[in-house]
Amino acid sequence: MPDIQKRINQWIKDHREEGTNLLQKMVQAPSTQGNEAGAQAIVAQKLQEMGLQIDSWEPDGSELKKHSYFYSPRSEFSNSPNVVGIMKGTGGGRSIILNGHIDVVPDGDRDQWDDDPYSGAIKNGRMFGRGVTDMKGGNVSLILAMQALKENGIQLKGDVIFQSVIEEESGGAGTLAAVLRGYKADAALIPEPTNMRIFPKQQGSMWFRIHVKGRSAHGGTRYEGVSAIEKSMTVINHIRALEEKRNARISDPLYQNTPIPIPINLGVIEGGNWPSSVPDLVKVEGRMGVAPEETMEQAKDEMAAWLLQLGEADQWFKENPPVLEWFGARWVPGSIDAEHELMNALVHQYRQVAGQDPVIEASPWGTDGGLLTHVGETPAIVFGPGVTEVAHYPNEYILLDNVFSTAEIIALTLIQWCGMETEQDGVTQSGKRETVLGNGN
Catalytic residues: 103, 168
Name the pairing type of β-strands 126-128 and 122-123: antiparallel
- The alpha carbons of the chain give a radius of gyration, in whole angstroms, of 24
Q: Nearest-CA neighbor of 26 among 2, 37, 42?
A: 42
- Cβ distance 22 to 143 under 8 Å? yes
Angle at 369 between CA 243 and CA 15, to 5 degrees: 130
DSSP, res 20:
H
- For residue 302, how many other CB atoms are within 10 A of its CB? 15
- Cβ distance 432 to 360 under 8 Å? no
- Cβ distance 19 to 92 under 8 Å? no
- Backbone φ and ψ of 230, nearest 5°: -65, -40
CA 16 – CA 405 distance, rounded (Å): 11
Angle at 365 between CA 360 and CA 367, to 5 degrees: 90
Peptide bond into 135 cis (omega under 30): yes
Got the DSSP string for 293-331? TS-HHHHHHHHHHHHHTHHHH-THHHHSPPEEEEEEEEE
List residues bridging with 326 in a β-sheet. 208
